[in-house]
Structure 1
Amino acid sequence: MPAVRRNREGGHMRAPRLVSVVQRRLLVNYRTEPEATARLLPAPLRPQVVNGWAVSGICLIRLSGVRLPAVPAPFGLRSENAAHRIAVEWDTPDGVTRGVYIPRRDTGSRLNSWVGGRLFPGRHHLSRFDVRESASELRIAFADPVDAVRVGVHVRTAATLSGSHLFHDVDQASGFFRRGATGFSTTPDPSHLDGMELLTQGWQVTPVDLASVRSTFFDDPARFPPGSAIPDCGLLMRNVPATWNPLPPMAVRPTGGPVTCSR
């Protein structure tokens, strides 16, 4: 069932299900200190902890053919997008559920910026993207000229996942992120999060080496004291058909309450 959305006048509307092709999805993963990470989360969310660390990061995704299912593929839209994200879990009547919390989304598309949080779940900040890509190397940078948020990553394709403190190999990392297909994004209303489920066909990721990573979100010492947010590993996915399924909003309590972490 489509998610029920509240419009700016307080009424309700139905957010549509969309289909697309994920031309490129780069996950730049950080290991972050659990207590510092938990302070960023609204209740009832808590960080997932792997090998003593919370799992956070940036998703840098290029979409093409974004459209309603009934619309022919040639009429679909293309855009560069990014999301800062934290792997989380929370308790439900059916047990513990896992997903990702998204404190910020960015897009290079004016249309995405306008419809995000209005007609479609998740507010999207309009940013300027610079992408330079080859078969073995990828450089992505983006910046929001309004609030000075900046990200820059440089990765190279690799044969194996190495140097990670979170995951032993690419199969373990792939399984972890595949289970986190449900994301909840911040909204102007701190009492609820917008929900989205990503359904993919032919899930497959390959490892990349992180040549350099910078993010004003993770580099901010007020948010993450020195040593509490460390780039850990990268994963790359290309040319995967995907469906974006809106979910009902999640009721939350703002950050700043008691800190709890699941181990």
Structure 2
Amino acid sequence: MRQPRLSSVVERRLLVNYRVAPDAAARLLPGPLRPQLVRGHAVAGICLLRVGSVRPTWAPAVLGLRSENAAYRIAVEWDGPDGVESGVYIPRRDTASRITAWAGGRVFPGEHGLADFDVHETPDRTCIALATRDGHTLNVTVEPADELRGSDLFADLAEASRFFQDGAKGFSATPSGRSLHGVQLHTDAWHVELVQVRTAASSFFDDPDRFPPGSATLDSALVMRNVPADWRPLAAMAVKAGAQLAG
């Protein structure tokens, strides 16, 4: 079943970014995807998304859903018909919404696991923790920042913003393992702000089997708030024969 185009309001989209050794990132990708490199590093991260008014574009906003979600992302590129294209591969999605978990891969892009979220937000601090039913945990605290500090990926906010705006296409595995589902985030009101990470712990990035010691380093973080956005389905991408899908 083809997924519908969805309208929504991105109430909060927190991007916590890691610089990753290219070979570690490549091991997690199915062909034909390869890591997109920035200053010699692969780029990966966590998207902590609270989205509201999610509904098919033809439906009134009052019928929309609201949920907390997490997606683990790796910036990728691939050879398209008109040249090299870029986006992200999403090996894992989690949600607090049973409806989203049921609809993932049907109405919403990608399969979603269920998680319990604990969120505390003030103007001066955002704290998000989650625990999934299969044992993954995450705990992130960020505060507003007036400049980008300590990043080896991006020189400033403008450069970071362009990178993530250009990587709006996301692909994730399907149950068959033979293709990838795709969706593209579209908004005419793109705007992100800097935040400083105070604490970040993730069993996904802290797993030494997935990321050997020293291969994934916290780099930077951005946040988007209260932005209207559409989610547009993309044509499925075939997985290369013999390629392994990351779990």
Structures share a fold, TM > 0.5?
yes
CA RMSD of aligned residues (A): 1.3
Name 1:247's counterpart in structure 2: 234
In structure 2, distance between residues paired with 1:188 and 1:218: 24
Q: Does 1:235 align with 2:222?
A: yes
Distance (whole Å) between structure 2 residues aligned to residue 167 and residue 19 of structure 1: 30
**2:135 corresponds to which residue?**
148
For 1:18 and 1:256, how far apart are their aligned partners in 2? 30
Q: Which amino acid aligns with 1:52?
A: G
Q: How far off its partner does 1:57 sit?
A: 0.1
1:52-131 correspondence runs (5 A): 52-131=40-119
The alpha carbon displacement at 1:36 in A equals 0.9
Number of paired residues?
244
Report the equivalent of 2:163. Answer: 176
Identity of counterpart residues, as a percentage? 58
Q: Which amino acid aligns with 1:213?
A: A
Is residue 18 of structure 2 the alignment partner of residue 21 of structure 1?
no
- Per-residue Cα deviation, 1:94-148 (whole angstroms, up to 9, x for no partner): 1000000000011110000001013332001111111000012101111112x10
Unaligned runs of at least 5 residues, structure 1: 1-12, 258-263
Q: Deviations over 1:177-225 (max 9, x none)?
A: 0000000012222111110010012111111111111111111101111
**Counterpart residue number, 1:219:** 206
1:62 to partner: Cα distance: 0.5
Change (3 A) 1:215 1:255: farther
Given that residues 27 and 234 in structure 1 are in contact (C-alpha distance below 8 angstroms), is that contact kept between their aligned partners in structure 2?
Answer: yes
Structure 2, unpaired ranges of 5+: none
Residue type matched to 1:188 in 2?
P
Q: Aligned-pair distance for 1:256?
A: 5.2
Amino acid at match of 1:112: T
